[in-house]
Amino acid sequence: MKAAVYYENGPPSVLKYEDVDDPVLLPQGIIIRVEAVSIEGGDTLNRLGGALVTKPHIVGYQAAGTIIDVGAEVTHLKRGQRVVTVNAFGSHAELRSVFARTAWVIPDGLDIKQAAAIPVPFGTAHECLFEYGRLKTGETVLVQAGASAVGLAAIQLAKHAGARVIATASSPERLEKLKPLGLDHGIDYAKDDVVAEVMRLTDNKGVDVVVDPVGGATLQSSLGSLAYRGRVSLVGNAGRVPQKVDVSNLMPGNRALNGVFLGAEIMSDRVHDMIQRQIDEVAAGRLTVVIDSTYPLSEAAAAHAYIESRKAVGRVLLIP
């Protein structure tokens, strides 16, 4: 099969389009013919510095396609079904092998490109807001990097839950695109002081829940934006800088900082079913998947470079 691979970590140019061996079917797994790859924020970080667990390495968490082979122990999936799949690696390819547990059947009528971009961002945003953020109706949420895929999902889910939604992004143009999804107030964090703006917008109370996929200096502003009993869900390192933060405001305000990792519980019934509900909500038109652009799989390097330019709002897809 053809795949976008790399032999060493580095910038987007390490990605090469090559012939590699077809993946091996697991007894508990399936093989899909990939029709749409959703390039996740973590894919660009893994390319930059993640472990090369296969050689050459095929990066990528998330892709959708049609099942062409089913492992002996799998009883609930069959050839010909359309599924969206998640795995630790292997999405940037014509074929992929995954555990059946991390495949979700795509409802009839839902576009496969939209489906390809649901489980990780929507599942992660849901965990940040509800499982770890314990968001309640009427509370206020701050979504850092609101124009990221996790951010776009978090804005919609928070709004649907009856929250007031504040988000940051690196330009006014990016913030503008978040308004139709439920944004109440945008903060240009390339220019404005986030904590000062949050305090101004909340009459100095602060926010109840922060979704932070950026880390570093942004995480410090997340902590500083918290209300009494506020909760930060730290879920990523999109800022690409080490995280050294002052946590001294947590204890006096009964505040909390939680790390969130979707992968740790993705095999559980709770998370599997929660992701299925997100897929069903998109299929029903109640949640929106924003697709920025598509590239051929052979142009994976250009697609990764475009994502790192921070111009994309929504997912960039690769089509084999």
Q: Which of 77, 47, 53 is nearest to 65 (CA)?
A: 77
Binding marks (x or -) toward ligand NAP, 123..162, rule CB under 6 A?
Answer: -x--------------------x-xxxx------------
In the list 155, 235, 282, 291, the residue contacting ligand NAP (rule: CB under 6 A) is 235
> Which residues have a Cβ under 8 Å from the Cβ of 86 and sit 6 or more positions away?
61, 62, 98, 102, 119, 120, 266
**Between 82 and 174, whose beta carbon lies closer to ligand NAP?**
174
User: What is the C-alpha to C-alpha distance for residues 219 and 236, in angstroms, rounded to an integer?
Assistant: 10
Cβ neighbours of 33 (radius 10 Å)? 14
Binding marks (x or -) toward ligand NAP, 17..46, rule CB under 6 A?
Answer: -----------------------xxx--x-
Q: Give 15-24 contacts, CB < 8 A, sequence gap 24+.
A: 15/47, 15/92, 15/300, 15/301, 15/304, 16/56, 16/301, 17/297, 17/298, 17/299, 17/300, 18/56, 20/56, 20/58, 20/93, 22/95, 23/90, 23/93, 23/95, 23/96, 23/97, 24/97
**Between 121 and 224, whose beta carbon lies closer to ligand NAP?**
121
Q: Which of 215, 143, 212 is nearest to 178 (CA)?
A: 143
Binding marks (x or -) toward ligand NAP, 71..110, rule CB under 6 A?
Answer: ----------------------------------------
What phi and psi, each to the nearest 5 degrees, are found at residue 240? 60, 30
Cβ neighbours of 203 (radius 10 Å)? 7
**Between 72 and 264, whose beta carbon lies closer to ligand NAP?**
264
In the list 103, 154, 169, 245, the residue contacting ligand NAP (rule: CB under 6 A) is 169
Binding marks (x or -) toward ligand NAP, 194..213, rule CB under 6 A?
Answer: -------------------x
Exposed, middle or buried: residue 91 (CB in 10 Å: 0-12, 13-18, 19+)? buried
Using the rule CB under 6 A, give the single segment among 47-55, 67-75, 222-230, 231-239 that binds ligand NAP: 231-239
CB of 78 to ligand NAP, least distance (A): 29
Given a contact cutoff of 8 angstroms between Cβ atoms, the answer to whether 30 and 97 are in contact is yes
Write out the E strands in 39-180: 62-70, 82-86, 95-99, 103-105, 140-143, 164-169
CB of 255 to ligand NAP, least distance (A): 20
Given a contact cutoff of 8 angstroms between Cβ atoms, the answer to whether 56 and 6 are in contact is yes
In the list 113, 126, 174, 177, the residue contacting ligand NAP (rule: CB under 6 A) is 174
Residues 247-306, interacting with ligand NAP (CB under 6 A): 260-263
In the list 143, 287, 307, 318, the residue contacting ligand NAP (rule: CB under 6 A) is 307
CB of 147 to ligand NAP, least distance (A): 4
**Between 47 and 255, whose beta carbon lies closer to ligand NAP?**
47
Q: For residue 120, state whether it binds ligand NAP (rule: CB under 6 A).
A: yes
Q: For residue 62, state whether it binds ligand NAP (rule: CB under 6 A).
A: no
What is the CA 280 to chain-centroid distance, rounded? 17
Using the rule CB under 6 A, give the single segment among 68-76, 94-102, 199-207, 232-240 that binds ligand NAP: 232-240
Q: For residue 318, state whether it binds ligand NAP (rule: CB under 6 A).
A: no
Q: Which residues bind ligand NAP (CB under 6 A)?
A: 40-42, 45, 120-121, 124, 145, 147-150, 169-170, 174, 213-214, 235-240, 260-263, 307-308, 310
